[in-house]
Amino acid sequence: MVTLKDLAKELNVSVSTVSKALSDSHEISEKTKEKTLELAKKRNYIPNNTAVNLRRKSTRTIGVIIPNIFNHFYTKILSGIESEAKKNNYKTIVSISNETLLSEKEGLDFFSNGSVDGVLLAPSDETEKLNEVEHFFELKRKGIPFVLFDRYIDNLNVDKVIVNDLESSRNVIQYFLDDGRQNILVVSLLKNLKIGDLRKQGALLDDTIDLLEHDEEIGFEIELREKIENKKIDAIFALDELSGIIALNLIRQKQIDIPKEVAIISFSQGILSKYSYPKLSIVNQYAKEIGAKSVELLLERLKDNDKPVETKMIKTSLEFNQTTL
Amino acid sequence: MVTLKDLAKELNVSVSTVSKALSDSHEISEKTKEKTLELAKKRNYIPNNTAVNLRRKSTRTIGVIIPNIFNHFYTKILSGIESEAKKNNYKTIVSISNETLLSEKEGLDFFSNGSVDGVLLAPSDETEKLNEVEHFFELKRKGIPFVLFDRYIDNLNVDKVIVNDLESSRNVIQYFLDDGRQNILVVSLLKNLKIGDLRKQGALLDDTIDLLEHDEEIGFEIELREKIENKKIDAIFALDELSGIIALNLIRQKQIDIPKEVAIISFSQGILSKYSYPKLSIVNQYAKEIGAKSVELLLERLKDNDKPVETKMIKTSLEFNQTTL
DNA sequence: ATGAAAGCGCTAACAG
DNA sequence: CTGTTAGCGCTTTCAT
């Protein structure tokens, strides 16, 4: 590894001269700058990031804790975070909690030790279910700037980016009703998740609406099959993509006509629903925006730690597809 | 931020005593250790990672450059990398190249400045197509340990983890032939990609086998539709998941019986094919293993930079599904 | 225009 | 058992 010292020695100048020359300081003569630049290039000099960070007391890096990397929704958020961060000359470092509380805590510990300037975080399933939130409060106590996205935690007074789930759900149901559909079934694989709560609340607009929720795919499919066989249903609203796809496939398997006999709409972020046949109509969540907004909020917080806490809401949109509606 | 110095002052001992006490050194008395630990906890002391890294000249961090985070194959690899790294007490930092040469280079630059101990890298589409590989050789010249995975680069003498694409393809075709299928169509959306080359090579076992490749979904679908209408086909082998799904949906749309009239097998990593209807039969690529093996190779390289370069091959497996075969 | 020196927070060799 | 000191590589203030 070649350091400033090495260059200085070879150029017969001091370390500080080299440092200034490389950062194009006006204090240094053009001639010296030239020579220095040339040698730096020749020797493949790269500033040691660790040393720079230590000196600057900033890393220009954002830590991201994400529950699940197999969920297209989160990869899209991640991609939004990445590009917004890059735009602002920040790097991103990702820790995947795999929906476990332990991993989430480990990730936070790692991020708390000066590796990053701030943290973007979506709590894991487990964290939500156990409602174990002490580590978030501790993070705050430690004074580490962070932004919560997608999922939320009660009473935690930090910057947040959320989605208008409740309202979106209402809109979907209203759409079905306006379309003359009377026997609506709401399905979900989000049992016990806070995020599911809001969607559910919005969906159960009146008591004619039936609900089937489960926390596991196989069981869900079995129960759904029964429901479809035993009950008249003319519309299905899936609160998550997976239950939407499973419902779609089941309906097709039963040779039930979509959308004439049963219409389907699902919360989704695109990948499974895009390549399903027929294509699902979806409630699009603009995951990229969620990521970008989170970065934005964090950078503002980094600039001014005293500014009042903010909550940004990202609106969903209904994306109709005539083959399922 | 609370530092060793702060603790030392408050405890009326030297910085080094505190440092040693916190790392449970045998040189320090139990009493001092206790007191120190207590205060550290009370003051929420966290060692500054940047300083530790600078001092140790190691970051215990692996940099990963991945072409595409929306591809389930890569997220699976990433997950394999993450857990294997964690197991070895290494952290992971991810840079997404979005299949562009520029991003890939930027990622490498960032990783070259001491932020990571070594790099895991899958070249982007663009890099492969342009065959622009100078930056890899430069990385090697800089002496940064790295491992190539999934995609490969000619003449680049580094550790590699690859998949036995060629052989797998041959096996699939052989399976079709043994099954009495005569009119096999090979489809692909991997046009111009090296990885596609090997699969193609293996698939075009004899000249009765027809090929349709494209680099874009819409065009692919149009041509495929024509093919299916004009030609007798009793088996389709898709060299990538997307073309597989598109073919599947098209066949279903045409009311052609699967698998009686047409059988389908596709290269895949699970997500789209798992939730397709009917489920696709696939060539599974064991993406997690690819990730884990890459980490393994890198850690070995980190330990001994002089050990001979290695290439690990991860074997695929055929996963049959009676509804498509 | 250049250099000396201090210091970011930590570890570790060495001294006491 | 504890402390002193040097130094990781860099930036920056303050001489010169």
The answer to whether some atom of strand D lies closer than 7 Å to the beta carbon of A49 is no
Tens digit of pLDDT at every position of chain B (325 positions): 899 999 999 999 999 999 999 999 898 999 999 999 999 999 989 899 899 999 988 888 899 999 988 888 899 999 999 999 989 988 888 888 889 998 899 888 878 878 899 999 999 989 988 889 999 988 888 888 999 998 878 788 899 999 888 899 999 999 989 988 989 999 999 887 777 888 999 889 888 889 999 988 888 989 999 988 888 899 999 999 889 999 998 888 888 888 788 989 999 876 777 777 777 788 888 899 999 999 999 999 998 888 999 999 999 888 877 667 7
> What is the number of H-type helices and E-type strands within chain A?
14, 12
Q: Which nucleotides of C are covered by protein (CB under 7 A)?
A: 1-5, 7-13
Residue A257: both structure tokens together: 């006509």
Which of A141, A275, A288 to mutate against chain B (most B CBs within 10 Å)? A275
| pLDDT attached to residue B270 | 66
| pLDDT attached to residue B231 | 83
Question: Which among B1, B47, B50 is the nearest to A59, CB-wise?
Answer: B50
| pLDDT attached to residue B294 | 97
Which nucleotide has the shortest C1'-to-CA distance from A2? D9
| pLDDT attached to residue B323 | 67
Query: SS3 for A84?
Result: helix
Q: Which parts of the protein come within 7 Å of strand C, by CB position?
A: A 12-17, 20, 26-29, 31-32, 51, 54-55, 57; B 1, 3-5, 15-16, 19-20, 22-23, 47-48, 51-52, 54-56
pLDDT-based confidence at residue A143 (cuts at 50, 70, 90): confident
User: Is the dihedral angle over the CA atoms B68, B74, B75, B81 positive or is it negative?
Assistant: negative
Whole-angstrom Cα Rg for chain B: 26
Residue among B322, B17, B25, B6 nearest B179 (CA):
B322
Q: Which ranges in A97-133 belong to alpha helices (H)?
A: 101-111, 125-130
Task: Tell me how close the Cα of B206 comes to any Cα of chain A, in angstroms.
Answer: 32
Query: What's the pTM?
Result: 0.82
Asked, as a colleague might, if the bond just before B47 is cis with ω within 30 of 0, I would say no
Q: In whole angstroms, give the CA distance from residue A146 to residue B245.
A: 40
Residue among A319, A215, A209, A211 nearest A265 (CA):
A319
Q: How far is the CA of A36 from the C1' of D11 (A)?
A: 17
- B52 vs A191 pLDDT, higher one: B52
| pLDDT attached to residue A206 | 81
| pLDDT attached to residue B318 | 82
Kindly report, residue by residue over A103-131, the tens digit of the pLDDT: 899 888 878 878 889 999 999 989 988 88
| pLDDT attached to residue A321 | 76
Asked, as a colleague might, if the bond just before B259 is cis with ω within 30 of 0, I would say yes
Question: Which among B93, B113, B271 is the nearest to A48, CB-wise?
Answer: B113
Question: What strands, in cross-sheet order, belong to the sheet with B146-149?
Answer: B91-96, B61-66, B118-121, B146-149, B159-163, B311-314
| pLDDT attached to residue B309 | 95
Using alpha carbons only, give the angle A28, A29, A32 rounded to the nearest 5 degrees. 95
Kindly report, residue by residue over A46-105, the tens digit of the pLDDT: 899 899 999 998 888 899 999 988 888 899 999 999 999 989 988 888 888 888 998 899
Q: Is there a contact between B255 and B284 (Cβ–Cβ < 8 Å)?
A: no
- Quick one: A103 exposed, middle or buried, by C-beta within 10 A (0-12, 13-18, 19+)? buried
Residue among B43, B50, B48, B44 nearest B19 (CA):
B48
Q: Is there a contact between A121 and A298 (Cβ–Cβ < 8 Å)?
A: no
Q: Which ranges in chain B belong to alpha helices (H)?
A: 4-11, 15-22, 30-42, 49-56, 72-87, 101-111, 125-130, 134-141, 165-178, 194-203, 217-230, 241-253, 271-274, 287-303
Q: Which amino acid is at A139?
A: L
The answer to whether some atom of strand D lies closer than 7 Å to the beta carbon of B14 is yes
DSSP state of B283: E
